[in-house]
């Protein structure tokens, strides 16, 4: 279990990351709602769980990360920048420009991005292939994938779920960003997903259900993953809030995607700082 | 129908084809209860939400599941419904390609796929570019393929589609396309529209590029070149006569489309010319067989040479 100072550091980083996502959203439109809901998960992945070398993005021993919900590119770019793959300013100065490596969906022109994503449903199959290759190569890194809950309506997700268990890929970990919303509205009203945990259990996966905004719970889930060489892939259903941390965006599909002006940016960042201060008891 | 073009740059009115589509669909849904509408978590984007509000019992939002949606549409059509199915061009034609081909085109079902975000209009990268959609759809037997020449034309296409047999693929952009037609006109599936007469060269365009072709024609006119401009809204079945006539009367053809250079409008025109044994000056403009980079659509059209400037300079060099 991580010590208290690690947890505090991660919380600071999550706050910083949200502010960076918002800055990017001021540069140009991002999928800010789904970026914010994934911020705590990505913070723990990039600053606690995964091993990687930003100076050598293709290092063989790295843990792989696949952003299956590719529209949350802003979350991935800010994670990679804060992990040291490139400067934040490089991102801010180039986002959405003509010929830029940084567009609304990630491409592998960005150091640290394994494969372009953005068409929903593909990521778990790709992750299954990467995990299978690790088995063939007798390597002990893990493969982490992040999926949207709306994305889980795609049939391909369930084909991959079947395959990963069949091939006994205990080196595969999927996070579901269970914020309850997709683009049009509530997943349960559009096309019901529940009972989601039972579905994954029925597919033979090791299932954890956590609060996706509790750094402690995310860290705890990582600490309790089955060994890499186990037979069972793990899915972590992380209950989250779309737009988390910015009150005017929370739980509102109108903030699925969009951009913000300077005044709103300032207001959002102040709200995040204020909340973090309160949390620290300052 | 001839069109006064010199007013183009004075007042460029932009309308969203998606808005026009949403309204028209809700409207015809009231007079024809065979119409059902399906979308895959994009009703707020493609404006089928208008139909959902007007006719909730005939509206199905399948969640993010395009293949399932196409299959359901096939089943509905088999039982006499007229499904309008909408998602982004890339997902409609590639994710759900086999369902479209085998379940809809093969049994020749009356399904209307209205795909948004055709070409590079999202600017959001290859995952969201519909840059091969027309080539794929054109190669499917029984399929009719249409890209309306301006944002209002989608309304006419939807009306005409009710009495058209077999499956249709209708592709529009992201929104904010310039208006080409300032007055009313007759629309017929499969019959191109000559929006500007000319004798020196013919610019054949489809979708949002019709506007750019007109703008190019206006620039060419300043150089004393009379360019004919054809709105080839129907890519399949293509208006062979208009192509033959253009080649014979003007001797030079430039095609323009927001689509890969392979398999779309340019290819379709070339096929007609070759089979008719017509030799003329000929140039295809479109995405030069690459995955489009990120950027705003207008910048991308410019980069790849099929905006008004690109069409203008290609026409000039073709004639020189
Ligand atoms: C195959 C496919 N269909 C549709 C889309 C358009 N789209 C982008 S994001 C989105 C909603 C995603 O919802 P969810 O997976 O729950 O993500 P989150 O709410 O976390 O942003 C949709 C429908 C897409 N990118 N890919």
Question: Quick one: tokens of B215?
Answer: 């703008």
Q: Does pLDDT of B2 surpass 60?
A: no
What band does B4 get if pLDDT is binned at 50, 70 and 90? very low
User: How many other CB atoms are there within 10 angstroms of residue A140's CB atom?
Assistant: 13
Nearest CA in chain B to A149: B64
A-chain residues near B90 (CB < 8 A): 119
The mean-pLDDT minimum among B167-181, B234-248, B279-293 falls in: B167-181
Label residue B11 by pLDDT band (50, 70, 90): low
Q: Please name each of the domains of chain A with its CATH number.
A: 4-280 (3.40.50.970)
pLDDT in tens, B152-200: 999 999 999 999 999 999 999 998 889 999 999 999 999 999 999 999 9
Most A CBs within 10 Å, among B39, B46, B65, B117, to test the A interface: B65
One-letter-per-residue 3-state SS of chain B: CCCCCCCCCCCCCEECHHHHHHHHHHHHHHHCCCEEEEECCCHHHHCCHHHHHHCHHHEEECCCCHHHHHHHHHHHHHCCCEEEEEEEHHHHHHHCHHHHHHHHHCCCCCCEEEEECEECCCCCCHHHCECCHHHHHHCCCCCEEECCCCCCHHHHHHHHHCCCCCCEEEECCCCCEECCCCCCCCCCCCCCEEEECCCCEEEEECCCHHHHHHHHHHHHHHCCCCEEEEECCEEECCCHHHHHHHHHHHCEEEEEEEEECCCCHHHHHHHHHHHCCCCCEEEEEEECCCCCCCCCHHHHHHHCCCCHHHHHHHHHHHHC
Per-residue DSSP letter, A182: -
- Report in angstroms the alpha-carbon separations of B64 from A129, A134, B69: 23, 30, 9
What is the model's pLDDT at position A97? 96
Task: Give the DSSP H/E element, type plus range, for residue A266.
Answer: helix A262-280
Q: Is the CB of residue B222 less than 8 Å from the CB of residue B188?
A: no
Is the pLDDT score of B10 beyond 60?
no
Q: How far is CA B24 from CA A34, A74, A114, A182, B54, in A?
A: 32, 36, 43, 26, 11
Average pLDDT, chain A: 98
Query: What is the A64 CA–ligand 1 centroid distance (Å)?
Result: 22
Q: Which residues of B touch A259 (CB under 8 A)?
A: none
The domains located in chain B, with CATH, are: 3-11+185-319 (3.40.50.920), 14-178 (3.40.50.970)
B127 and A116 in contact by Cβ < 8 A?
A: yes
**Is the pLDDT assigned to residue B250 strictly greater than 90?**
yes
Q: Give pLDDT, residue A216.
A: 98
Q: Residues of A with CB below 8 A from B128's CB?
A: 104-105, 118-119
Tens of pLDDT, residue by residue over B207-229, are: 999 999 999 999 999 999 999 99
How confident is the model over B59-75, as a mean pLDDT? 98
Nearest by Cα to A174 from A97, A261, A236, A119: A236
CB-CB under 8 Å, A96 with B123:
yes
Between CA A257 and CA B43 the distance in angstroms is: 15
- State the Cα–Cα distance between residues B319 and A237, nearest whole angstrom: 63
Q: What percent of chain B has pLDDT over 70?
A: 97
Burial class (CB in 10 A: 0-12, 13-18, 19+), A224: exposed
Residues of B in contact with A99 (CB under 8 A): 293-295, 303
Distance from C-alpha of A102 to C-alpha of A95, rounded to nearest angstrom = 5
Q: What is the mean pLDDT of residues A42-53?
A: 98
Tell me what pLDDT residue B3 has.
46
- Burial class from Cβ neighbours inside 10 Å (0-12, 13-18, 19+) for residue B108 reads middle
pLDDT at A209 over 90: yes
* CA gyration radius, chain A: 18
Q: Take residue A24 and report the two structure tokens written for it.
A: 């990017």
Q: Whose CA is nearest to atom 12 of ligand 1?
A: A182
Task: Write down the pLDDT at residue B6.
Answer: 40
Whether B5 shows a pLDDT value over 50: the answer reads no
pLDDT of residue B173: 93
Residue A172: how many CB atoms within 10 A of its CB?
30
Do β-strands B227-231 and B144-146 pair in parallel, antiparallel, or remain unpaired? unpaired
DSSP state of A58: T
Residues B65, A154: C-beta atoms closer than 8 Å: yes
The residue in chain B having the minimum alpha-carbon distance to the alpha carbon of residue A120 is: B64
DSSP A48: I
- As a whole number, mean pLDDT of residues A32-40 equals 98
Compute the average pLDDT of residues B234-249: 98
Please tell me the distance from the alpha carbon of residue A213 to that of residue A219, in angstroms, as a whole number: 11
Do the Cβ atoms of A70 and B127 come within 8 Å?
A: yes
DSSP string covering A68-103 = SSGGGHHHHHHHHHHTTSS-HHHHHHHTT-TT-S--
Write the CB contacts of B298 (distance below 8 Å, at least 6 apart in sequence).
B307
Q: Which of B38, B39, B40, B41 to mutate to test the pocket of ligand 1 (most atoms within 8 A of CB)?
A: B41
Contact indicator for B255, B265 with CB cutoff of 8 Å:
yes
For the record, the structure tokens of B93 come out as 């034609």
Instruction: Please report which confidence band the pLDDT of residue B1 belongs to, taking 50, 70 and 90 as the band edges.
Output: very low
| Paired tokens of B120 | 């590079």
From first CA to last CA, the distance across chain A in angstroms is 25
Percent over 90 (pLDDT), chain A: 99
Q: Chain A closest CA to B66's CA: distance in Å? A: 8
CB-based contact B173:B262 (threshold 8 Å): no
**Global confidence as pTM:** 0.96
Mean pLDDT, range B86-115, rounded to an integer: 98
Instruction: Return mean pLDDT, chain B.
Output: 95
pLDDT digits (tens, 9 = 90+) for A174-198: 999 999 999 999 999 999 999 999 9
Residue B4's DSSP bridge partners are none
Best of B294, B298, B303 to disrupt the A interface by mutation (most A CBs within 10 Å)?
Answer: B294
Within 6 A (CB) of ligand 1 lie: A 31, 33-34, 37, 69, 71, 118-121, 148-151, 177, 179, 181-183, 242; B 41-42, 64, 91, 95
The per-residue pLDDT for range A232-267, each reduced to its tens digit, is: 999 999 999 999 999 999 999 999 999 999 999 999
Distance, CA of B157 to CA of B181 (rounded, Å): 14
Which residues in chain A are closer than 8 Å to B290, comparing Cβ atoms? none
Q: What is the mean pLDDT of residues B136-141?
A: 98
Do the beta carbons of residue A30 and residue A257 sit within 8 Å?
yes
ipTM for this prediction:
0.95
How many other β-carbons are positioned within 10 Å of the β-carbon of residue B143? 21
B8 band by pLDDT with thresholds 50, 70 and 90: very low
B125: left (phi over 0), alpha (psi -120 to 50) or beta: left
């Amino acid at each position: 279990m991580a010590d208290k100072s690690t947890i505090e550091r991660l919380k600071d980083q999550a706050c910083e990351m949200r502010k960076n996502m918002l800055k990017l959203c001021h540069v140009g439109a991002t999928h800010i709602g789904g970026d914010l809901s994934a911020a705590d998960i990505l913070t723990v992945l990039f600053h606690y769980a995964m091993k990687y070398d930003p100076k050598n993005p293709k290092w063989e021993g790295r843990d792989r990360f696949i952003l299956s919900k590719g529209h949350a590119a802003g979350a991935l770019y800010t994670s990679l920048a804060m992990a040291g793959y490139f400067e934040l300013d490089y991102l801010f100065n180039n986002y959405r420009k003509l010929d830029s490596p940084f567009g609304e969906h990630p491409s592998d022109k960005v150091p640290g991005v394994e494969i372009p994503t953005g068409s929903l449903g593909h990521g778990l199959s790709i992750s299954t292939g990467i995990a299978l290759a690790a088995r063939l190569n007798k390597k002990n890194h893990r493969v982490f994938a992040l999926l949207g809950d709306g994305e889980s309506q795609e049939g391909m997700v369930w084909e991959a779920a079947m395959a990963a268990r069949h091939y006994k890929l205990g080196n595969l970990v999927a996070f579901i960003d269970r914020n309850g919303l997709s683009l049009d509205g509530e997943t349960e009203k559009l096309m019901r997903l529940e009972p989601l945990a039972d579905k994954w259990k029925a597919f033979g996966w090791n299932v954890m259900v956590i609060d996706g905004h509790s750094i402690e719970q995310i860290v705890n889930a990582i600490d309790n993953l089955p060994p890499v060489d186990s037979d069972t892939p793990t899915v972590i259903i992380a209950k989250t809030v779309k737009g988390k941390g910015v009150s005017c965006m929370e739980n509102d599909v109108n903030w699925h995607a969009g951009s913000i002006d300077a005044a709103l940016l300032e207001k959002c960042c102040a709200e995040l700082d204020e909340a973090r201060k309160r949390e620290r008891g300052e | 129908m001839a069109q006064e073009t010199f007013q183009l740059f004075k007042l460029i009115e932009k309308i969203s084809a998606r808005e026009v589509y949403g309204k028209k669909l809700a409207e015809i849904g009231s007079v024809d209860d065979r119409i059902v509408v399906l979308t895959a978590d994009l009703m707020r984007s493609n404006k089928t939400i208008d139909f959902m509000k007007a006719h909730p019992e005939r509206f199905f939002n399948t969640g993010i599941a395009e293949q399932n949606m196409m299959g359901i549409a096939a089943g509905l059509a088999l039982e006499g419904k007229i499904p309008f199915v909408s998602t982004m061009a890339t997902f409609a034609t590639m994710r759900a390609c086999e369902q479209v081909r085998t379940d809809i085109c093969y049994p020749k079902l009356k399904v209307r796929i209205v795909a948004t975000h055709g070409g590079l209009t999202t600017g959001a990268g290859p995952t969201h570019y519909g840059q091969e959609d027309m080539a794929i759809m054109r190669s499917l037997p029984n399929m009719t393929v249409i890209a309306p020449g301006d944002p209002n034309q989608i309304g006419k296409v939807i009306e005409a589609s009710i009495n058209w047999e077999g499956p249709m693929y209708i592709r529009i952009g992201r929104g904010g396309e310039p208006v080409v037609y300032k007055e009313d006109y007759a629309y017929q599936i499969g019959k191109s529209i000559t929006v500007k007469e000319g004798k020196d060269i013919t610019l054949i365009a489809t979708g949002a590029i019709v506007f750019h072709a007109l703008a190019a024609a206006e620039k060419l006119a300043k150089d004393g070149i009379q360019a004919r401009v054809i709105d080839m809204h129907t890519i399949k079945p293509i208006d062979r006569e208009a192509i033959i006539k253009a080649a014979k009367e003007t001797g030079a053809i430039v095609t323009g489309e927001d689509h890969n250079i392979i398999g779309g409008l340019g290819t379709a025109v070339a096929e007609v010319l070759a089979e008719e044994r017509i030799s003329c000056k000929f140039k295809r403009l479109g995405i030069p067989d690459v995955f489009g980079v990120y950027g705003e659509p207008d910048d991308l059209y410019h980069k790849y040479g099929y905006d008004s400037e690109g069409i203008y300079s290609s026409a000039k060099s073709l004639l020189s």
